[in-house]
């Protein structure tokens, strides 16, 4: 399961919906791997981290990333994480994956010696790409000069 939490959103609402979502899919025999940009720094002790960890412990999930995932200037935070049940997935490694595309470093999880059995269920998510959706995406994007460091007239 992949999660993104907006840093300025209502934290209590996020925590409640987060718990409800996990509860709706959780099964004792499920090897749940939860990951994403949670925007809660796991390098420091803070109340939001404690509350998140409390919800995760309900499902026996623990954070396994141990290095900063976002470095900017002299600041380092660990706001991107992977959460697993160590009793179900005991043999794994996590490594940073420096991709240069973002100020966040990706995390590479390698699971060893696990036999995942297919349940026969597949989820496909598709996006309808057409002129309308592309124009809508461009209209909602931040200034192109900021994103591409070139003038808009150069791109058109």
Give pLDDT, residue 109: 83
pTM over 0.75: no
If asked whether residues 104 and 132 sit together in one domain, one would say: no
If asked whether residues 43 and 103 sit together in one domain, one would say: yes
Give pLDDT, residue 154: 43
If asked whether residues 148 and 79 sit together in one domain, one would say: no
If asked whether residues 77 and 7 sit together in one domain, one would say: yes
Could you tell me the residue range of the domain that residue 133 belongs to? 126-156
Own/partner pairs, 103-108, CB within 8 angstroms, 24+ separation: 103/70, 103/71, 103/72, 104/37, 104/69, 104/70, 104/79, 104/80, 105/68, 105/69, 105/70, 105/71, 105/80, 106/80, 107/35, 107/65, 107/69, 107/80, 107/81, 107/82
Mean pLDDT, rounded, of the chain: 77
If asked whether residues 146 and 103 sit together in one domain, one would say: no
27-81 residue pLDDT tens: 888 888 998 888 888 888 999 999 999 999 999 999 988 777 776 778 777 778 8
């Amino acid at each position: 399961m992949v999660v993104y939490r907006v840093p300025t959103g209502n934290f209590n609402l996020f925590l409640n919906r987060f718990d409800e979502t996990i509860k709706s899919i959780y099964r004792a025999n499920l090897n749940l791997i939860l990951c994403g940009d949670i925007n809660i720094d796991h390098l420091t002790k803070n109340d939001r981290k404690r509350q998140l960890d409390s919800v995760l412990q309900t499902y026996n999930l623990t954070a396994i990333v141990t290095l900063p995932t976002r470095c900017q200037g002299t600041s380092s935070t660990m706001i991107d994480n992977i959460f697993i049940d160590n009793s179900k997935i005991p043999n794994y490694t996590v490594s940073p994956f420096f991709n240069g595309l973002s100020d966040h470093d990706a995390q590479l999880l390698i699971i060893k010696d696990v036999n995942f059995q297919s349940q026969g269920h597949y989820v496909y998510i598709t996006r309808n790409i057409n002129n309308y959706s592309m124009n809508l995406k461009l209209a909602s994007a931040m200034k192109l000069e900021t994103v591409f460091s070139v003038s808009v007239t150069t791109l058109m």
